[in-house]
Amino acid sequence: MFKRINQFKAVLFFLAVGFSAGILAGGEEDAAWNGGLKQKFFGDKVIQESSGVIELTAPYRAEDPALVPVSVTSKIAQTPEKYIKAITLIIDNNPVPFAAAFTFTPDSGKADIGLRVRVNAYTPVRAIAETSDGKLTMSRVFVKASGGCSAPIGADMDAAIARMGKMKFRLEGDKLALQQPNQVQLLISHPNITGMQMDQLTRSIKPAHFVEQVKVSFDGKPVMTAQTDIAVSADPNFRFYFKPDKAGELKAEIRDNRGNQFSDVQAVKP
């Protein structure tokens, strides 16, 4: 009798697995978004899904779930009359779905952004752009990855803490183009611990310690500001644009969730 019961349970299990897979294939991957995420972050605002304002790209199957490259490409020019002023990145099935929110100005030149994120489960990833007229437009992709938020911390944590806060700007190309969008990469040394990771040496769970704000300016004018959370990878790096009208200084200011603040400047010229 117990054998039959166990066989029956096994059949139910496999039916449930098959049913779940069928639901996922049928488009129910939006369950978390429709079940509360949209309302939480955007309320009752209308969001149009289109590739006419931004386009989000990410690998369908990630090689490393703790280092998933994500990029958002803008499709409209940054002009004072109309520009993309904010892009919010949501990873539906992460423990903390909010990954980052970026703000831009016409001085950004282009509202493009690139970074690496952690993906903890098969999930839709969404970028929602807000233009200066208040309209919201979404681009989304589906990423297959798991365990990115709980991936083990590297063995040399002391070295990671010692270099924490060091930053470097890296310009694309050898010369700065005036009155044109110039791509720049900001590299930040920070362990960006999620609070879900085990230290490989002590076998203990390390408390969360991550960059929560990034501000970039050029000669005092804002270029890009980011609010970030645990989904951003260790040693964050961001690729974005700025449009200079003369030689000047790029400045980066960051703050982490423990109140540590760091800054760095780099002179740039044509």
pLDDT in tens, the chain (270 residues): 333 333 333 333 333 333 333 334 445 789 999 999 999 999 999 999 998 999 999 999 999 999 999 999 999 999 999 999 999 999 999 999 999 999 999 989 999 999 999 999 999 999 999 999 999 999 999 999 999 999 988 767 888 889 999 999 999 876 788 999 999 999 999 999 999 987 777 778 889 999 999 999 999 999 999 999 999 999 999 999 999 999 999 999 999 999 999 999 999 887
Give dist(CA 133, CA 34) in Å, integer: 25
The secondary structure of residue 145, as a DSSP letter, is -
Specify the pLDDT at position 5: 34
134, 45 contact by CB (below 8 A): no
Specify the pLDDT at position 11: 34
Give dist(CA 24, CA 33) in Å, integer: 14
Specify the pLDDT at position 10: 36
Specify the pLDDT at position 8: 35
CB atoms near residue 120 (< 10 Å)? 23
Q: Parallel, antiparallel, or unpaired for β 167-171 and 182-188?
A: antiparallel
Specify the pLDDT at position 14: 33
Q: Is the pTM of this model over 0.85?
A: yes
Tokens of 143: 């990423």
